[in-house]
């Protein structure tokens, strides 16, 4: 059996103390025998708390904690010394806060992406995967717009990293069940009050578990050529079914859609369909650049020209029972 690309290598995770970062680090440490895993983040308290957890303390000789901000290119250059692979998970992502503080979103999500790209190329990082969001497709809020800009930066970075240089790709998926800021813990909290606030009963969203997201990113590192935007095939769920799964005995109250919020989320638009291939477990949006080899992902099939991957027209739906099993109650 072929050795995994992570074995004996150095992997750095920006935003490493977040929900995704901790799950990614744990799976890599437990299963892939890396030389070193570097947690890069801004909050020293979260790093301290993470280091105390038994699952990370058991790997204290392999894991490193590096305080820094993706806005600081010099700090990134120091952190990326000797790094083989980078997962870029750091972002400002609270939609209402980003609407009120647009310059901060741009500094972290856009300028930070540029710094990651430059530091990766200068330090000779082999591969980088940046995490995106469904809100980056046809964005209507600033968070989505900054992540779309970030996606474009990471894809185009392959244009100047050189033929044998750093490879960049992007993974885009929907809401993560139970992650920080997810509606699931919010509904659990509201369950105690007896009333669940609903923005619009027609609303739908894509859903993925934390472990599924992590393993999809790992697979992305294995099969990326540099320039792809990977979109997993994941189920949708209606907001009313979500409320029933979490709080079946509670009343619902319609509160209206919040500013910057969509009724349904789209991960691949009709405009992207001409460059999209379908694989068994995902879709790949290919870059429209002359350096992209058309035989990359030749095993995939072209999607229809008017293809649209939207949470309301999805063929795969999460049932109430399935979600209850995932969240454990």
Q: Which of 22, 23, 135, 262 is catalytic?
A: 135
- Start-to-end CA distance of the chain, whole Å, equals 39
Q: SS3 for the chain, per residue?
A: CCCCCCCCCEEEEECCCCHHHHHHHHHHHHHCCCCEEEEEECCHHHHHHHHHCHHHHCCCCCEEEEECCCCCHHHHHHHCCCCCEEEECCCCCCHHHHHHCHHHHHHHHHHHHHHHHHHHHHHCCCEEEEECCHHHCCCCCHHHHHHHHHHHHHHHHHHCCCCCCCEEEEECCCEECCCCCCHHHHHHHHHCCCEEEECCCCCEEEEECHHHHHHHHHHHHHHCCCCCEEEECCCEEEHHHHHHHHCCCCEEEECCCCCCCCCCCEEECHHHHHHEEECCCEEEECCCCCCCCCCCCCCCEECCCCCCEECCCCCCECCHHHHHHHHCC
Q: Is 189 a catalytic residue?
A: no
Burial degree of 5 (CB within 10 A; 0-12, 13-18, 19+):
middle
In angstroms, the CA 123 to CA 73 distance is 12
- For residues 47 and 39, the answer to whether their CB atoms sit within 8 Å is yes
∠84-87-92 over CA atoms, to 5°?
A: 145
- What amino acid positions are annotated as catalytic residues? 135
């Amino acid at each position: 059996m072929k050795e995994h690309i992570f074995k004996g290598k150095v992997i750095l995770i920006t935003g490493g103390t977040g929900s995704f970062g901790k799950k990614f680090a744990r799976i890599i440490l437990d299963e892939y025998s890396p030389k070193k895993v570097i947690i890069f983040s801004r909050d020293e308290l979260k790093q301290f708390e993470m280091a105390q957890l038994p699952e990370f303390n058991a790997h204290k000789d392999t894991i490193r904690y590096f305080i820094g901000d993706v806005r600081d290119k010099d700090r990134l250059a120091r952190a990326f010394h000797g790094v083989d692979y980078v997962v870029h998970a750091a972002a400002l992502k609270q939609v209402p806060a980003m609407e009120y503080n647009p310059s901060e979103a741009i500094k972290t999500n856009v300028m930070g992406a540029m710094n990651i790209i430059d530091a990766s190329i200068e330090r000779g990082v082999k591969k980088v995967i940046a995490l995106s969001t469904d809100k980056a497709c046809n964005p209507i809020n600033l968070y989505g717009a900054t992540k779309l800009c970030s996606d474009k930066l990471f894809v185009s970075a392959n244009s100047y990293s050189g033929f044998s240089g750093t490879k960049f790709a992007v993974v885009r998926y929907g809401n993560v069940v139970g992650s920080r800021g997810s509606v699931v813990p919010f509904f659990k909290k509201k369950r105690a009050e007896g009333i669940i606030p609903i923005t619009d009963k027609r609303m739908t969203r894509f859903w993925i578990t934390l472990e599924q997201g992590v393993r999809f990113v790992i697979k992305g590192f294995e099969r990326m050529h540099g320039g792809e935007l990977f979109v997993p095939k994941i189920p949708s769920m209606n907001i009313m079914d979500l409320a029933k799964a979490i709080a079946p005995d509670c009343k619902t109250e319609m509160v209206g859609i919040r500013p910057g919020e969509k009724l349904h989320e789209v991960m691949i638009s009709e405009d992207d369909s001409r460059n999209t291939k379908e694989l068994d477990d995902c879709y790949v949006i290919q870059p429209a650049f002359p350096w992209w080899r058309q035989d990359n992902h030749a095993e995939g099939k072209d999607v229809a020209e008017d293809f649209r991957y939207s949470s309301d027209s999805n063929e795969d739906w999460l049932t109430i029972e399935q979600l209850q099993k995932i969240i454990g109650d």
